Chain A
Amino acid sequence: MNTKTIHIVYTDDAFLLKGVEKARAQGFIIGEVYSPFPVHGLDQALGLKKSRLSIAAFVYGSLGLLVAAWLTYYTMIVDWPQNFGGKPNATFWLNSPSFVPTLFEFTIFFAAHLLVLTFLWRSKLFPFKKADNPNPRTTSDQFLLEIEVPTTALIQVESLFAETHPLHIAIIEENTDE
């Protein structure tokens, strides 16, 4: 490998954004960005793809609706078409107003829970997961930009990023991240 990992630490989100722009302009590969809060415009600056979680939630909600429709149809119309207080139950349609609350709650239940599980799964978050942020301050007040810099450009890094006001810049040795 002829690149080195560089950690640039900022104390302000505006400077972080400048740093990201700088790194992209220089053609350095951005490994990761750690920030204590969602920085507005960071995903555009990094060129991150839009998240598809909301689409997933729509699919999950539709699934919940179908499950509830099947459940109410099967139990109330097909399996035991009983007379409950004169409610019409010859067809699903006739009894459908009574099923609306069930259909609605199942839709929300499936959409919300499967969305959250998908989020945790995609982001690899789970109980007992060891946190691997390189700097504990990045969860409270510091911003860390991790970039891959070719060894040839290593000497200029300090001066290149000086105008983005970093708190400090550190060269990380290979395979000694922790």
Chain B
Amino acid sequence: MSQNNPPHTEDILLQGAKSYLSVSDDISAIVEAKTSRTWWLCMGAALAFLAWGGYCMYLTLTEGIGVWGLNKTVGWAWDITNFVWWVGIGHAGTLISAVLLLFRQKWRLAINRSAEAMTIFAVLQASIFPIIHMGRPWKVFWNIPYPNTMGSLWVNFNSPLLWDVLAISTYLSVSLVFWWIGLLPDFAMLRDKVKSKYKQKLYALMSFGWVGTAKNWQRFEEVSLTLAGLATALVVSVHTIVSFDFATSVVPGWHTTIFPPYFVAGAIFSGFAMVNVLLILTRKACRLESYITPYHFDKMNLVMLVTSCIIGVAYLSELFMAWYSGNPAEQYAFLNRIAGPYAWGYWIMISCNVILPQVLWSKKIRYNLWATFIISIFINVGMWFERFVIIVTSLHRDNLPSSWTMFSPTYVDIGIFLGTIGFFFALFLLYARTFPLIAQAELKTVLKTSAESFAVADSQNSTTDEH
């Protein structure tokens, strides 16, 4: 695979001798295995977080938004920070399954399933915030332009918050069907393979009766490719629309035309970091080391490096344009970020997002899973702070000094965020126990060309020519 360098033993997509059957065996072994104590421990922890988050949401709903740390100046803080952060994390899944499919990148195959699962679970968490941060969330359905007895009274299509509703619901639902279509052949494999009657019934239900006829496969590939094309446009539009929440405002520090691409780059950046974190844990827990190899992490780290540089340029552009604009409010907004009361947040953001990822220029570090894991965690922290800094530092000091204030979160703000993390991991843990973790059907198409060695199951056939 590598041309100039001496062949890197890690530059292979599948380690060990794999046959079509052994790939299926490895994937089904995960759902057949007894649930481990570690799984239950993790699930217990995730559910504890979720319960705490649920309590905090209950408090918010029954007591009102006043239990949060928001004030009359800073009307958006942790809620929308978390929303944008979760949406951003979701973007890597679509990037991996759709964009890398369009570019025919084979290394997507072992990781796309989990990345898509991550997308769906992350966007689900994100979608909690637009509802929970409403003052009257029981009227959330008024966002839908349905004919009604008020005249009909419609929604206002000028608002980016309405575009958000359209974007997030489209994104969540399209990601879900894209994921499910890809799962059909793998559910079918499990249906035909698992021992227990109950599991056979379950996977039969989920596989929609897939049998893999030639025509089915032809359509499957056409649908996958078309959906990938649509999802690529969608993924770019969704975070663009999310960035419009800020970019279309008149707030100094928010009103910027660079936001749409810069938010999308940040989304890919944070999303890949989260994929790294999850996959390093999953490959260990589910013994998928021969499928998800250091080579995959090298590639994902490269994507992170590229997007880190893009957002680095965006940070610099913002600073340059603030200076170049000659607009004192804009200049102050950035001065306030760099040296104001939330400067610590700004510098956490700069160090985690721009400075630290520069170590990924080293191939040694890209191949080192411990380093990857730690860097990815820091990137997720840094990207959370990016959203926090953009939202809070722009709001707490803007045009009118008499309305300057500070923001600090309450335990309810923090609790809801922790709750969504618990919910996310609970869903991911359920997924990791029951779903085919690797798109094995598609992986088998590259088995002969990309595996360390391809083991033909039936030796009588191995002697003759192939192709």
Contact = CB atoms under 8 A, between A and B. Distances in A.
B233 interface: yes
B214 to A, nearest CB: 4
A42 B221 CA distance: 12
Contacts of A12: 456, 461, 466
A34 B211 contact: yes
Interface in B429-467: 441-442, 444-445, 456-458, 460-461, 464, 466-467
Contacts of B174: 108-109, 112-113
A62 interface: no
Contacts of A104: 233, 237
B237 A133 contact: no
A116 to B, nearest CB: 5
A128 to B, nearest CB: 6
A98 B460 CA distance: 66
A29 interface: no
A115 B223 contact: yes
Interface residues of A, number: 68
A65 interface: no
Contacts of B157: 71-72, 75-76, 98-99, 102
Contacts of A112: 170, 174, 177-178, 227, 230-231, 234
A141 B162 CA distance: 48
Nearest to A58: B226
A53 B223 contact: yes
**Is chain B's interface secondary structure helix, strand, loop, or mixed overall?**
helix
B205 A43 contact: no
Contact of B188 (A15, A54, A131): A131
Interface in A50-66: 51, 53-54, 57, 61
B220 interface: yes
Contacts of A153: none
B237 A101 contact: yes
Given A101-B237, A140-B21, A43 B223 contact: no
A150 interface: no
A58 to B, nearest CB: 9
B209 interface: yes
A14 B466 contact: yes
A79 interface: yes
Interface string B211-247: 1111111111111011100110110010001001000
Given A101-B237, A116-B227, A126-B209, A141 B19 contact: yes
Interface in B166-225: 166-167, 170, 173-174, 177-178, 181, 184-185, 188-189, 191-193, 204-223, 225
A14 B174 CA distance: 35
A73 B162 CA distance: 16
A119 B189 contact: no
Contact of B163 (A15, A105, A127, A131): A105
B313 interface: no
Given A11-B458, A123-B216, A133-B212, A116 B170 contact: no
Interface string A107-145: 011011101100110111111111111001111110000
A28 to B, nearest CB: 15
B154 interface: yes
A35 interface: yes
23 contacts: A15-B461, A32-B214, A34-B213, A35-B212, A37-B217, A37-B444, A38-B217, A38-B445, A51-B219, A51-B222, A53-B223, A75-B155, A75-B157, A76-B154, A79-B152, A108-B230, A108-B234, A111-B226, A120-B208, A124-B209, A125-B216, A137-B192, A141-B19
Given A35-B214, A39-B217, A98-B157, 17 more contacts: A11-B20, A11-B456, A12-B466, A15-B461, A33-B213, A36-B185, A37-B20, A42-B218, A51-B218, A71-B145, A84-B158, A101-B244, A108-B170, A119-B219, A131-B211, A133-B212, A141-B21
6 closest A-B pairs (Cβ-Cβ)? A129-B209, A136-B192, A141-B20, A140-B24, A75-B154, A133-B211
